[in-house]
Amino acid sequence: MPRSRRLLSMLALVPALVAVPQARAAAPAPSPETTTAALSTHTLRRLGATPNDPSSEFTLSSLRGRVVVLNFWASWCGPCRKELPQLRALAASLAAAGGRVVAVSIDVDPRNAADFAQRFAPGFTVFHDGPDGLARSLDLPALPYTLVLDREGRMVWSGGGGDSATLAKIASAAERAAGSRGLADGATEGTPR
């Protein structure tokens, strides 16, 4: 095959290769039904806890009656560096309204997650679930990714990003959910319902 034909053949593959990451980035947010089912029974483990500590594990269903901001992050995620300290501040204000921020690392190695949390949000309780836990069950489209759950455990907001505009949306959705006794089921990407 002449060199020019090989070059043309390889160039023909470029759009297909470029389309794969774009298709992944455009993946839809987890559906409310998938989210509710996955969260109801999945157990999370607190980072740094000893294996025999009974308070180190819990399911999100045990937080029913509280508004929950469920955030997924990883130590290799650049935007997570800015977001995690701000989530710690949100946790303090939400706790006063009867809510809770649950920050979940999807790192493979929990030591990386623990080092990251200590550096960027010291004193903030974080959990480890690894890449094959909830993140895979929910097929999260991005990191960081956050879900806001109302007092009944229903997803009322979801979205990706760690910028200040996204954090303001997270805080607003959590405050609305905390101020009410439950919001309508479901959410679309980055939009409250």
Cβ neighbours of residue 146 under 8 Å, at least 6 residues apart? 69, 70, 71, 72, 157, 158, 159, 160, 166, 170
Collapsed DSSP state (helix, strand, coil) of residue 13: helix
CB 119 within 8 A of CB 88: no
Write down the H helix ranges in the chain: 3-25, 32-41, 78-96, 110-120, 134-138, 164-179
pTM of the model: 0.76
pLDDT at 130: 85
pLDDT tens, position by position, 39-89: 878 888 888 887 788 778 888 888 889 999 999 999 999 999 989 889 988
Confidence check: pLDDT of 12 > 70:
no
Structurally, the chain folds into a number of domains equal to 1
Pairwise CA distance, residues 154 & 164, whole Å: 24
Task: Please report whether residue 187 resides in a domain.
Answer: no
Range of the domain at 139: 31-48+55-179
Q: What is the DSSP letter of 100?
A: E
Task: Please report whether residue 80 resides in a domain.
Answer: yes
Task: Please report whether residue 13 resides in a domain.
Answer: no
- Closest to 73 (Cα-Cα) out of 192, 173, 7, 162: 162
Strands laid side by side in the 43-46 sheet: 57-59, 43-46, 126-128, 100-105, 68-73, 145-149, 155-160
Higher-confidence position of 184 and 91:
91
Task: Please report whether residue 123 resides in a domain.
Answer: yes
pLDDT at 2: 55
Confidence check: pLDDT of 25 > 60:
no
Task: Please report whether residue 166 resides in a domain.
Answer: yes
Task: Please report whether residue 149 resides in a domain.
Answer: yes
Task: Please report whether residue 25 resides in a domain.
Answer: no
pLDDT tens, position by position, 114-168: 999 999 988 888 999 988 888 888 888 999 999 999 999 889 999 999 999 999 9
CB-CB neighbours of 83 under 10 Å = 27
Q: What is the CATH number of the domain that holds 75?
A: 3.40.30.10
Task: Please report whether residue 188 resides in a domain.
Answer: no
Out of 19-33, 74-88, 99-113, 139-153, pick the least confident: 19-33
Q: Is the dihedral of CA 70, 72, 75, 81 positive or negative?
A: negative
